[in-house]
């Protein structure tokens, strides 16, 4: 859930004083509510069911007063965690997109911060691709179909476009990976976990020795974040400078996961998924259909379109380009997807009148 971030730790007694100042900086948006702690306790039945955990937080299953299923993220009590809570809250209050998990509200009455989200019932993309239970594997239940994988890639790109280009203060997510992509009952993508996110970024790569503005400016490009093994842009690891290009790289890794069905990083072998890209793909050249077939998830048993897979591979390669300057902006990624994969948006299951829904009942 949370990843290691480096903060200067001060005495816990100062948290309340800092909170008073920070309250003035945060204004609820898009209908998010400010809850009382007693409500949080009631929603979670005194924190009885843990559905996720990380280095700095736990996530609990909840049910709000109208009976709506929810997930409540509780961050621990310290000044650094309060800062993290306030930073994440400030970003969440800016967001409203169908492919980003819906933020319902928060509670900041205590040193522990609480963030309340919609509960997304179908697990994560990581679980669907890599953690299928043994009991399921033994049955005839198929793996995630190719058309659904295409739709997830397209929806994820739309979520990133919203963050990068359509928010008033442009946002870098900072930790795009398959475990942070939740799926609803119709396999719609819901990007989550904004604990590493930052606001006010350029699409360019800043020089490590320079800053685009003063340290207090929300539009600085020089920001410090941590990432996840296999997903983190090598340029960021070398320089410590974050930009939109980092999210583009991580998106490319997720697309490669969707194509191959392989994990982004194998800790046992120390292998990263990006190393399997053939040289001709990395160089922007075409790839033979036979080579495409070798890369596509064998569990699909050939049930995929070779042209679509080849196009998606070329898009992933563009997003993974080194050095990062040639990487496309996310709007360019969406344009390539719609041009190279004609019906890529047909797999969206928004329930619109006349829309064509995929049969996902078997999954």
CA distance 92 to 95: 5
CA atoms of 202 and 171, how far apart (whole Å):
9
Strand partners of residue 52: 59
Token pair belonging to 13? 């007694």
Q: The dihedral of CA 85, 157, 102, 265: what is its sign? A: negative
Q: Which two tokens stand for residue 178?
A: 């398959």
- Evaluate the omega torsion of the peptide bond into residue 323 and state whether it is cis, within 30 degrees of 0: yes
The two tokens of residue 276 are 């399997």
User: Is 73 annotated as a binding-site member?
Assistant: yes
Tally helices (H) and strands (E) across the chain. Answer: 12, 12
How would you classify the pairing of strands 50-53 and 57-63?
A: antiparallel
Residue bearing tokens 């800790």: 267
Q: Give dist(CA 83, CA 89) in Å, integer.
A: 10
Of 90, 108, 175, 247, the active-site residue reads 175
**CA 194 – CA 176 distance, rounded (Å):** 9
Decide: residue 286, CB within 10 A, 0-12 exposed, 13-18 middle, 19+ buried: exposed
> Buried (b) or exposed (e) across 241-263, using 16+ Cβ within 10 A?
bbbbbbbbbbbbbbbbbbbbbbb
Q: For this structure, is 297 an active site residue? A: no
Binding-site residue numbers for ATP are 73
Catalytic residues: 175
């Amino acid at each position: 859930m949370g990843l290691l971030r480096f903060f200067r730790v001060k005495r816990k007694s100062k948290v309340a004083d800092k909170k008073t100042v920070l309250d003035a900086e945060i204004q609820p948006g898009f209908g998010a509510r400010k809850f009382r702690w007693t409500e949080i306790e009631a929603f979670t039945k005194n924190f009885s069911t843990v559905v996720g955990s990380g280095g700095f937080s736990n996530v609990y299953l909840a049910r709000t007063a109208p009976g709506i299923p929810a997930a409540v993220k509780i961050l621990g009590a310290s000044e650094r965690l309060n800062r993290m809570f306030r930073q994440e809250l400030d970003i969440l209050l800016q967001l409203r997109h169908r492919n980003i998990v819906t933020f319902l509200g928060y509670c900041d009455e205590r040193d522990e911060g609480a963030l309340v989200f919609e509960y997304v019932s179908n697990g994560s993309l990581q679980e669907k691709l890599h953690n299928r239970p043994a009991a399921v594997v033994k049955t005839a239940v198929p793996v995630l179909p190719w058309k659904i994988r295409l739709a997830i890639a397209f929806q994820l790109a739309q979520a990133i476009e919203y963050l990068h280009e359509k928010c008033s203060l442009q946002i870098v997510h900072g930790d795009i990976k398959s475990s942070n992509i939740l799926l609803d009952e119709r396999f719609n993508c819901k990007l989550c976990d904004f604990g590493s996110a930052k606001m006010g970024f350029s699409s360019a790569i800043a020089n490590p020795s320079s800053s685009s503005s003063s340290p207090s400016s929300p539009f600085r490009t020089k920001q410090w974040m941590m990432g996840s093994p296999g997903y983190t842009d090598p340029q960021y690891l070398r320089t410590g400078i974050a930009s939109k290009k980092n999210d583009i790289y991580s998106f490319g890794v997720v697309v490669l996961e969707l194509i191959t069905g392989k994990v982004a990083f194998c800790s046992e072998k120390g292998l990263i998924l990006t190393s399997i890209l053939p040289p001709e793909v990395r160089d922007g050249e075409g790839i033979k259909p036979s080579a495409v077939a070798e890369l596509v998830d064998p569990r699909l048993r050939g049930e995929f379109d070779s042209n679509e897979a080849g196009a998606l591979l070329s898009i992933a390669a563009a997003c993974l380009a080194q050095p990062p300057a040639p990487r496309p902006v996310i709007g360019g990624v969406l344009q390539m997807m719609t041009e190279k994969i004609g019906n890529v948006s047909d797999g969206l299951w928004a329930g619109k009148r006349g829309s064509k829904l995929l049969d996902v009942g078997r999954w």
